[in-house]
Structure 1
Amino acid sequence: MSDPQHVLVTGGARGIGRGIVEDLASRGIKVTFLYRGSQELAERLVAGLHEQGGDVSAYPCDVRRSDAVKEAIATILDREGPVDGLVNNAGITRDALLFMMKDENWADVIETNLYGVYHVTRHLISHFLRRKQGRVVNITSVAGLVGIMGQTNYCASKAGIIGFTKSLALEVAKQGITVNAVAPGYIDTEMVANLPEAKREELLKRVPMGRIGTVRDVAGVVRFLLGDESRYMTGQVITLDGGLTV
């Protein structure tokens, strides 16, 4: 498989997903992205990238719902054409210590972060298998590698993505499909920006490189995993955290 011509990104309207969409579009790659509750942001992103000559489309979809994902994937393949790469990025947090956690906050995180990966990949993988090519890149987190107090739901979902990545990589390797994951640490997104200043300073002290990562840092690794240069890499988790987990 050569470098991708068309990539589908979930959760592409904001944060890391937005950075991935912008990076791919700026390099002449056709991008379609899914979003759930960020219609205005999605429309502005599409309009802005169109002005820059990008080929970008956005579709609303709740990745927690298998039926919604199935319909969205079918529509995208019909309207936008074959997909070469998938970036499973959609994710949320609902933090609380376990003894205080509400059932709905556990369920919402698991259903969005983990079931979302399952639903989108399952409904697209047959397309990749028929074409005997495809790249799947799952955005996990260092939270899937180490424990974080107050994030049992988030850590469980991200650890699940790592197991999913490795298992699916074995299932589809002989069909020319690669499946890898990226585990970012603290990245300069809205989620981190909203932390109190004291908390941000505390985080910086824990990062050996002494800085928060950028969405550009993540997008570069994702682009590599989508491209031809990573054709012999599968089932891997690339940690991108400034040395936090060393």
Structure 2
Amino acid sequence: MYNLKNKTAIVTGASKGIGKNIAINLSKHNVNLCLLSRSIDKLNIVKKEIQKISDVEVSCFEIDVKDIKKVELCIKKIIETNNKIDILVNNAGITKDNLILRMKKEDWDEVININLTGYFNMCKSVTKYMIKQKYGRIINISSIIGLKGNLGQANYSASKAGIIGLSNSLSKELGSRNITVNTIAPGFIKTNMTDNLDEKSKKDFLNKISLKKFGKTEDVANLVCFLASDLSSYITGQTINIDGGMN
């Protein structure tokens, strides 16, 4: 459907949750994968799952995206092996929630460094190769929290809002080189985090969602595949919400 066969994609934060499902979905469309995470063991588990359903090439890299030098070395290795990078999906992210008066400076820094600076590091390292090949798809995973804010998540919200600004600016810089840059802003997606909510919290959240249900990681992964394909070739600089009509 999407004609992604023999494309090469990098997916960060690919060891679990949304990132894992993005990788699995791309593999179903015959995309060769370079999976990045801070846990090589978890990545190898994902790799084995993918190899059961697809014969695409899967490479795993243990890396902290906030370290620009390590990111650059990693991207260089990927280019040496694959000769190209068609798709970059930035998904790596953490939370360290607290009210602003209780939030430690190091918790602010860690969230910003991974969630935002990590995206910058990946984009900066990958785009020079995309510019040379005159083709690329960059898809940055933000959050509805980056648009609306949330109690006790000043650091997370700021990082996710920053991703939207970064993406919009890059779309203007790279558009003439046939590189699209878009952002996905998921709402409440069914993960371990939502599973651990108490019943009252679940009810409160669901009351804010028009569809009255949490989204699935597959919902995000499906949109990633569309944005990675040529069907989306005239879409760039956009932030697309996947939130079930969240108020």
- When normalised by structure 1's length, the TM-score is 0.95
The answer to whether the Cα contact below 8 Å between 1:13 and 1:42 also exists between their aligned partners in 2 is yes
Counterpart selection for 1:168 from 167, 170, 178? 170
Offset at 1:33? Answer: 1.1
The residue number in structure 2 matching 1:46 is 47
Alignment-mate amino acid for residue 101 of structure 2: F
**Per the alignment, in what secondary structure is the counterpart of residue 212 of structure 2?**
coil
State whether structure 2 residue 128 is matched by structure 1 residue 129.
no
Offset at 1:53? Answer: 2.7
Alignment-mate amino acid for residue 142 of structure 1: I
Counterpart selection for 1:58 from 51, 57, 60? 60
Percent identity, aligned pairs only, is 38
In 2, the alpha carbon distance for the partners of 1:147 and 1:121 equals 25
- When normalised by structure 2's length, the TM-score is 0.95
Alignment-mate amino acid for residue 155 of structure 1: S
In 2, the alpha carbon distance for the partners of 1:169 and 1:227 equals 16
The residue number in structure 2 matching 1:179 is 181
Alignment-mate amino acid for residue 175 of structure 1: R
What are the superposed Cα offsets for residues 198-241 of structure 1, whole Å, 9 maximum, x if unpaired? 32222111111000000111011111111001101110000110
The answer to whether the Cα contact below 8 Å between 2:136 and 2:178 also exists between their aligned partners in 1 is yes
* Structure 2 alignment gaps of length 5 or more: none
Alignment of 1:15-34 (within 5 A): 15-34=17-36
What are the superposed Cα offsets for residues 29-49 of structure 1, whole Å, 9 maximum, x if unpaired? 11111001x332211110121
The residue number in structure 2 matching 1:157 is 159
Offset at 1:57? Answer: 1.8
Backbone CA RMSD of aligned residues: 1.2
Offset at 1:190? Answer: 2.0
What are the superposed Cα offsets for residues 116-162 of structure 1, whole Å, 9 maximum, x if unpaired? 10000100000000001100000001011102010000000000000
State whether structure 2 residue 15 is matched by structure 1 residue 13.
yes
In 1, the alpha carbon distance for the partners of 2:152 and 2:27 equals 36
Alignment-mate amino acid for residue 148 of structure 1: N
Counterpart selection for 1:224 from 217, 223, 226? 226
Alignment-mate amino acid for residue 26 of structure 1: K
What are the superposed Cα offsets for residues 38-88 of structure 1, whole Å, 9 maximum, x if unpaired? 332211110121132332221101001101101111111112331101000
In 2, the alpha carbon distance for the partners of 1:190 and 1:119 equals 28
Alignment-mate amino acid for residue 76 of structure 1: I
Moved over 4 A (4+): none
In 2, the alpha carbon distance for the partners of 1:197 and 1:117 equals 34
Between the two proteins, the alignment pairs up a number of residues equal to 243
Alignment-mate amino acid for residue 33 of structure 2: V
Counterpart selection for 2:241 from 239, 242, 245? 239
Counterpart selection for 1:212 from 210, 214, 227? 214
Alignment-mate amino acid for residue 200 of structure 1: K
**Per the alignment, in what secondary structure is the counterpart of residue 96 of structure 2?**
coil
In 2, the alpha carbon distance for the partners of 1:96 and 1:31 equals 35
